[in-house]
Amino acid sequence: MASKRLGPVSSSVTKAAGEEKYLGGFSSATMRREVAAGYGIYATNRRFFGIYDRLASPGPLLARRPSGHQLMKLLAKSGEKALISELERRRDLEVKREDISTVEIRKPGLLRKGRIMIRDVSGRRADLWILEDRDFEQAKNLLQKFRPDALIVT
């Protein structure tokens, strides 16, 4: 599947003044983009990434691994730069921080799914679905670190 981006992204992002720093992220078997279960969101001080995490929800025949397991092992073993490179390689969604106009996050309810809706400055949007309260809380905390001025919590 091709990477979907909101807004232009250049490969020179990490060459600008200052280092790109990893802020955090997580994967969840119950988070989704489109149909497939198992999705992760990650952020640096410059970019937001969405990745499919098949190991978070591998199916009924395979044992489930902790969400984001491989990425956290990579961070511990090889450091931030290696993790950011892996996020670039595995990305399904990538948005530069300055290209985001709003990020709306809605808590899941008894009869409705939660949602993260990211809008870029050109008006395009990406929707991610949240099914569990703990994913909502983790996403809200990550987005408060990443882009608090654009965050709308409903």
What does each of the 154 residues of the chain score in pLDDT, given as a tens digit?
444 555 444 444 434 458 999 999 998 988 999 877 889 999 999 999 999 987 655 455 444 444 455 677 777 778 889 889 989 999 999 999 999 999 999 999 988 999 999 999 999 999 999 999 999 999 999 999 999 999 999 9
Q: Which of 131, 130, 65, 82 is nearest to 143 (CA)?
A: 130
CATH assignment of 20-153, among 3.40.50.11540, 2.30.29.30, 3.40.50.620, 2.30.38.10: 2.30.29.30
Q: To the nearest 10°, the Cα dihedral for 8, 12, 18, 24?
A: 60
